[in-house]
Amino acid sequence: MSDPNEDQEEKNTDGMEGESGAETIHVSGIRSIRDLIDRVTGRNLDDLSLGDAGYAEQWPFPFFAVVGQQEMKLGLILTLINPNIGGVLLVGPRGTGKTTSVRSLMDLMPYVYESNCYYGCLEEDVETGGLESLCPACAEKYQKGEPLSSLRPAKLVELPLNAKMEDVLGSVDEKAAASNRLRVRRGILSHADKNILYIDEVNLLKDEVVDVILDASAQGSYTVRRGQFAATYRSRFTLVGTMNPEEGTLRPQILDRFGLRLMVEGLEDTEERLSAYKLARAYMTNPKRVVEMYADETMIARDEIAAARKLIPEVDLPEEIAKIGLDLIRELEIASLRAEITLFEAARAMAAADGRTVVEEDDLRQVATMALRLRRSKFIEDYFTDQEGEEVEIDKKLEKIMGGN
């Protein structure tokens, strides 16, 4: 699989050329460009397979060229800073720039150690499973003291909508199986390890596929079994999903697994819409020029995200701030413990983004909505109310019978 980020360096050093009319645009962003381009070029997500380094992948639309959508941008950046937030779900209608924005994260990605090997072998595998857990080539390298991984920008791994179980988990490498060692052709989940796994329209994905992904995401690993063989692969990815509520709902247990919930509505301001259009046109004419227009902001943001990521382990959540958060969750009658994990981890990311090591009230305020919305369940509320009624009834009847004796 080719690495779309490989082109990054070239892109930043190439000279400017051509004319795009982009100079006349005085805006801080754009929306829905990708959708527009997709329509114009007749290309849609179904055509994109894993590792397809197509034209637009080489020149992702700049994150800061997305017009408006402050909440979405903030939420996505927080997720890059602190993977413990538990991923993010972008909720909104078609054509509001959700996919564009997610793909534009490519230029902001933090660096991670990634395996150099087809089978995904890592040095850390030796600590848990010994030399046996490496493929023969990597075992040899390891014994010679050669590195098995290199530092690279994290990738955006896209899950195709028509992904089959085999694509997601991987499949048996017949040659290896014949030599009595199970090696699995790494699936999407394994490729997503330490990266971002992007699922567009998660509500349209097959239930069985969603379940496997969520389990792997929760455990940070997954096991593939074929007969007597079993192989475990790491899958510590950040999940980013989108859904269009017009096209069906998400099962509550799936919704619960997403950390931040970001609402992405269409731009209402005419000026903003015009800016978005102009930038879209400029990007279509000369994507490189648009990328260069935002190169400085992109570089600064990437450095700040990296610095905030380093700071995260030191960020402290004072007890009085935690109490405010827990009071809020209790007031909202949210049951899932994932609510406070996301709320507090997002608040810690806010503090880190600000270069602080202590969470303040305002950090909590800024992330509360995106961490806690869509978490209340009318069904569960009613269910427990009914249960309480039943408990009272059981007690009463018991009293009556006992009293009658």
Least distance (Å) between residue 211 CB and Zn ion: 29
- Give the pair of three-digit tokens for residue 106: 């490519």
Catalytic residue among 236, 273, 338, 356: 338
Q: Where are the alpha helices (DSSP H) in 32-158?
A: 33-41, 55-58, 70-81, 98-104, 123-129, 136-143
Query: Phi/psi of residue 263, each to 5°?
Result: -90, 125
For the beta carbon of residue 141, count every other beta carbon within 10 angstroms: 18
Bridge partners (DSSP) of residue 62 are none
For the beta carbon of residue 261, count every other beta carbon within 10 angstroms: 20
Going by DSSP bridges, is the β-strand pair 170-172/111-115 parallel, antiparallel, or unpaired? unpaired
Q: Whose CA is closest to 75, among 45, 105, 31? A: 105
Rounded to whole angstroms, how far apart are CA atoms 63 and 107? 8
Least distance (Å) between residue 195 CB and Zn ion: 18
Least distance (Å) between residue 300 CB and Zn ion: 37
What character string, x for contact with Zn ion (CB under 5 A) and - otherwise, covers 175-204? ------------------------------
- What single letter denotes the amino acid at residue 228? Q
119 lies in the binding site for Zn ion (CB under 5 A): yes
What character string, x for contact with Zn ion (CB under 5 A) and - otherwise, covers 75-114? ----------------------------------------
Least distance (Å) between residue 176 CB and Zn ion: 11
Distance of CA 403 to the CA centre of its chain: 60
135 lies in the binding site for Zn ion (CB under 5 A): yes
For Zn ion, give the closer residue by CB, 131 or 392: 131
121 lies in the binding site for Zn ion (CB under 5 A): yes
- Asked about 338 being catalytic, the answer comes back as yes
Q: Judged by CB under 5 A, which of 138, 184, 239, 301 binds Zn ion?
A: 138
63 lies in the binding site for Zn ion (CB under 5 A): no
280 lies in the binding site for Zn ion (CB under 5 A): no
Q: Which residues are at the interface with Zn ion (CB under 5 A)?
A: 117, 119, 121, 135, 138
Positions marked active-site: 338
